[in-house]
Amino acid sequence: KKAGKVRSIGVSNFNVEEIKSLAGGRPDAVMPAVNQVEAHVFWNQASLLDSMKALTVAVVAYSPLGNPALYGENSGMNSAVVSDIAAETGLTPAQVMINFLVAQGWIVVPKSVTPSRIDQNINFELKLTSEHIAKIARDAPQNRLANPKNRPGGLPVFVDEPFEPRGVEPRGAEL
């Protein structure tokens, strides 16, 4: 950055200790501008979000809709906590899930290939109240969906949290 070759850097799947280690105790260290991690209603990563805010590292949520193409009904799109709030607010389940993350300060980039869904995921009014946010945070069971085994020895990337894919194998893929 000091040489003018990059404007900013970003990382993915870093925990707080890994982010802090980049500074190496140097007060002038260049920190990442962004950390991209799995986050959705059912893996809200509140503690990580708070820590990243304190370090002034923006966070981008990948799989913000729980990856319905891969996990189908187990993605959370059909969960009672999401559908009840969707019915109450007139939002789609995807909009509830996006609104939940945006309200907390996440950068959210949902994936879709369907033009109408892309439009729905962008063009809507954020309607969730603080009560809705609190209800989701309280009632949505927390569980990571993605935990690739691509560390040395075939170990999962995330060893800091239990990984239980809700008893369902993803469609067309192996964890």
pLDDT tens track for 86-108: 999 999 999 999 999 999 999 99
The predicted model scores a pTM of: 0.80
Closest to 106 measured CA to CA, from 140, 73, 133? 133
Using CA atoms, how far residue 131 sits from 42, 64, 85, 100, in Å, is: 17, 20, 10, 11
- The per-residue b/e assignment along 55-80, b for 16 or more CB within 10 angstroms, e otherwise, is eebbbbbbbbbbbbeebeebbbbebe
pLDDT band at 69, cuts 50/70/90? low
Whole-number pLDDT of residue 131? 96
